[in-house]
Amino acid sequence: MAKIIPFKAVRPTRDKVSLVAARSYQTYTLEERESRMGYNPFSFLHIINPGYKYHKAISGKERYNLVRNRYLEFKEDGIFTQDEKPSYYVYKIVNREGHVFSGIVAAASSEDYEKDIIKKHEDTIEYRENVFKDYLKTVGFNAEPVLLTYPDNTIIANIISEVQKDRSEYEFTTTYRDTHYLWKLDDPELVNQISSAFEKIETIYIADGHHRSASSCLLSKDLKSENDTHTGNEPYNYFMSYLIPESDLRIHEFNRLVKDLNGLTKEAFLIKLDTMYRIENRGHSLYKPTRKHHFSMYLDGEFYSLFLRKSNYEFSDALEALDTQILYKTILRPILGILDVRNDTRIDYSHGKNDLITIKNKVDSGEFQVGFGLVPITVEEIKAIADSNLTMPPKSTFIEPKLRSGVTIYEF
């Protein structure tokens, strides 16, 4: 049922791909961006931050137009070239821990997104959807794939494995010590096999990139309404995605840090917690929870284990069984007074790739008063939320792989 098609990617030349590829813009500090752009004229950051050339911060429509100009300049200078035939792109990442992600970069259908064949598990913010839609409409390309996941499929896995026996088109290692590989797959027979295999998959899930998916869908509607000869086959009916099997996903937890105890003393706070949790003081020993509905807490120089008293909590649906929701409903909202976990400045998050020492250090420094550790959410929980048309609380998952921008570019 899923329509996943090949496309003619715009890509860096083999000799420059490692110089072009960039992390998501927001992940760089100002100092990192300045350094990378100052020493690397080929970085994709020059395209998405065109104000650097004029030593000026530029935003809105003016920035979008300049992004378009920088992109065209990269094409004119031969840094980017477009493939002649629609292709799938087998993409493998081996991260510094040795975990391997293997999947396919392809174009996914916006209509499938609308019809809930491609399912989501996070809320999106309308303002951000429209801002990115306007950006895409002006620049005319997308350079960062949405991460989609599908049930493990033998046919697709065998093709990916066979393709990877040949020399890759790209092989480069980042400063994060992740190694990236790309193979172009344009053999008609294999293309048809992959397309047919995806058509037999009933549901695909968004792992990361909910706003990009929503914005691409809005763009599709806009351009469709402006095109009197719309056929449904135009590139704007699709968005670039990286599709990997569910078994390849790595999901980390997002731990919580809170700046104060909402006016409570330590003792009063612990007494309130006792209603919903069995509490054990673990002292100075680092305690990391290993089971669902168990949490770690760091408070006043000591670790605690919190075991949910299940008889006092109602597991009414997939959302209510989610640990991030349980923490919100039993501690953050009723005891610590945090109603809006997305916007309240008293709460912050640390993803699980950072260890518990991060929480300990931030509490010990006085920046926060209490920290909570969680276990990672599973693929099955993500699917249960999406299948029930529910949405997770913000910062419920930190999902890998994280792709680089500028390696494959989708034009519409």
Give a yes or no: residue 392 inside a domain: no
Give a yes or no: residue 21 inside a domain: yes
Give a yes or no: residue 389 inside a domain: no
Residues 228-253: tens digit of each pLDDT: 999 999 999 999 999 999 999 999 99
Note whether 119 and 203 are within 8 A (CB). Answer: yes
Distance CA 36, CA 18 (A): 13
Give the model's confidence band at 57: pLDDT under 50 very low, under 70 low, under 90 confident, else very high: confident
Token readout for 378 is 């599973």
Say yes or no: 191 and 334 in one domain. Answer: no
Give the model's confidence band at 366: pLDDT under 50 very low, under 70 low, under 90 confident, else very high: very high
Note whether 364 and 254 are within 8 A (CB). Answer: no
Say yes or no: 213 and 265 in one domain. Answer: no
Say yes or no: 354 and 407 in one domain. Answer: no
* Whether pLDDT at 26 is above 80: yes
Q: What is the mean pLDDT of residues 192-196?
A: 98
Say yes or no: 238 and 343 in one domain. Answer: no
pTM: 0.93
Say yes or no: 190 and 236 in one domain. Answer: yes
Bridge partners of 303, per DSSP, are 283, 298
Q: What is the number of domains present in the chain?
A: 2
User: Position 255: which residue type?
Assistant: N
pLDDT of residue 94: 97
SS3 229: coil
What residue ranges in 192-265 does DSSP mark as E strands?
A: 204-208, 238-245, 250-252, 254-258
Give a yes or no: residue 129 inside a domain: yes
Give a yes or no: residue 184 inside a domain: yes
* The CA-based dihedral angle spanning residues 387, 389, 391, 396, taken in that order and rounded to the nearest 10 degrees: 0
The Cβ of residue 73 has, within 10 Å, a number of other Cβ atoms equal to 14
pLDDT of residue 176: 87
Say yes or no: 228 and 274 in one domain. Answer: no
Note whether 220 and 227 are within 8 A (CB). Answer: no
Say yes or no: 285 and 162 in one domain. Answer: no
Task: Output Rg (C-alpha) for the chain, integer angstroms.
Answer: 23
Burial class of 331 by CB neighbour count within 10 A (0 to 12, 13 to 18, 19+): buried
* Whether pLDDT at 213 is above 90: yes
Give a yes or no: residue 383 inside a domain: no
* Whether pLDDT at 112 is above 80: yes
pLDDT of residue 8: 98
3-state secondary structure 126-192: HHHHHHHHHHHHHHCEECCCEEEEECCCHHHHHHHHHHCCCCCCEEEECCCCCEEEEEEECCHHHHH
Say yes or no: 14 and 66 in one domain. Answer: yes
pLDDT of residue 124: 87
Q: What is the mean pLDDT of residues 161-167?
A: 97
The percentage of residues in the chain with a pLDDT greater than 70, rounded to a whole number, is 100
Tell me how many degrees the CA angle 73-74-79 measures, rounded to the nearest 5.
145
Say yes or no: 75 and 223 in one domain. Answer: yes
The Cβ of residue 319 has, within 10 Å, a number of other Cβ atoms equal to 20
pLDDT of residue 160: 98
- The distance from CA 265 to its chain's CA centroid, rounded to whole angstroms, is 38
DSSP 275-325: TTEEEEEEETS-----STTEEEEEETTEEEEEEE-GGGS---STTTTSHHH
pLDDT of residue 336: 98
pLDDT of residue 125: 85
pLDDT of residue 333: 98
pLDDT of residue 344: 94
Say yes or no: 233 and 324 in one domain. Answer: no
Q: What is the mean pLDDT of the chain?
A: 96
Containing structural domain, residue 340: 254-375
Say yes or no: 107 and 171 in one domain. Answer: yes
pLDDT of residue 27: 87
**Residue 194 CA: distances (Å) to CA of 49, 65, 226:** 36, 37, 32
Give a yes or no: residue 395 inside a domain: no
Give a yes or no: residue 92 inside a domain: yes
Say yes or no: 93 and 186 in one domain. Answer: yes
**Which residues, 6 or more positions from 291, have their beta carbon under 8 angstroms from its beta carbon?**
375
Note whether 407 and 83 are within 8 A (CB). Answer: no
3-state secondary structure 380-400: HHHHHHHHCCCCCCCCCCEEE
Residues 312-358: tens digit of each pLDDT: 999 999 999 999 999 999 999 999 999 999 889 999 999 887 778 99
Token readout for 271 is 């007494």
